[in-house]
């Protein structure tokens, strides 16, 4: 892994053997730009990509995992995922299909049940601390254009799910397709009345401070 100055935040995308892990390729730079714009964090603006089976995982404060297809972790990927979460790691998982009955959603949730138990992944309340970690979202998770346009399962999901360890979210799971929502050149934000990447700032700040 690249050596960085102490205290520098970097965005890590997790590569896994099954499925398509390299989705929404402009999203990380957009998210990182928002952190530069709104916070005082020291930021590495280059996306970090590592294999879930690599021990470099344990050097990463924040990870992102997404896809459309089957999620079937190898034994090493499964072991690393559990060890990382149990030891205070944070993974934001986003279903690019926006479909609770889609292949990614079903297979990922099955993986979480196998790793952490059938009841580990639960809906979080819309007054959870993550919705006030920086910006305030009084109604819980902000809606995406994919939901409003009827993409995927044609539902507006009014919740996110999570696996908590010792009262802290370790796995944040979304069927809302935030990756696609934030997959545009950050220089185009000027066309948005409200910056739709603000919730990404909350997710990162929660991961770093909770």
Amino acid 3: pLDDT: 67
Q: How far apart are CA 206 and CA 210, in angstroms?
A: 5
Q: Where are the alpha helices (DSSP H) in the chain?
A: 27-38, 75-86, 103-116, 145-148, 178-181, 198-209
Sign of CA dihedral 85, 91, 96, 101: positive
The residue whose two tokens read 């819309």 is 126
Kindly report the number of other CB atoms within 10 A of residue 14's CB atom: 26
Q: How far apart are CA 50 and CA 66, in angstroms?
A: 13
Nearest to 174 by CA among 65, 31, 58, 62: 65
Q: How far apart are CA 49 and CA 30, in angstroms?
A: 16
Q: Are 73 and 111 a contacting pair, CB within 8 Å?
A: yes
Domains of the chain by range and CATH?
Answer: 8-209 (3.40.50.12140)
Kindly report the number of other CB atoms within 10 A of residue 81's CB atom: 26
- Look up the pTM and report it: 0.95
One pLDDT digit (tens) per residue for the chain, 210 residues:
676 677 899 999 999 999 899 999 999 999 999 999 999 999 999 999 999 999 999 999 999 999 999 999 999 999 999 999 999 999 999 999 889 999 999 999 999 999 999 999 999 999 999 999 999 999 999 999 888 887 778 888 999 999 999 999 999 999 999 999 999 888 887 777 889 999 999 999 999 998
HSE of 134 in the Cβ direction (CA atoms, 13 Å)?
Answer: 20
């Amino acid at each position: 892994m690249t050596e960085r100055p102490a205290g520098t935040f970097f965005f890590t995308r997790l590569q896994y053997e099954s499925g398509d892990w390299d989705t929404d390729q402009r999203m990380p730079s957009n998210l990182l730009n928002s952190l530069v714009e709104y916070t005082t964090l020291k930021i590495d603006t280059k996306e970090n990509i590592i294999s879930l089976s690599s021990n470099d995982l344990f050097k990463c404060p924040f990870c992102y995992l997404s896809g459309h297809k089957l999620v079937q972790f190898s034994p090493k990927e499964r072991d690393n995922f559990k060890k990382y979460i149990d030891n205070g790691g944070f993974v934001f998982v986003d279903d690019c299909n926006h479909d609770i009955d889609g292949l990614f959603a079903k297979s990922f949730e099955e993986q979480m049940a196998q790793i952490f138990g059938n009841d580990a992944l639960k809906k979080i309340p819309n007054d959870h601390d993550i919705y006030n970690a920086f910006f305030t979202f009084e109604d819980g998770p902000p809606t995406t254009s994919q939901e409003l346009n009827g993409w995927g399962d044609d539902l507006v999901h009014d919740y996110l799910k999570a696996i908590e360890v010792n009262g802290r979210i370790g796995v944040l799971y979304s069927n809302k397709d935030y990756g696609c929502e934030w997959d545009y050149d950050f220089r185009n934000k000027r066309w948005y009345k409200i910056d739709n990447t603000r919730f990404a700032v909350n997710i990162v700040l929660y991961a770093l401070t909770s």
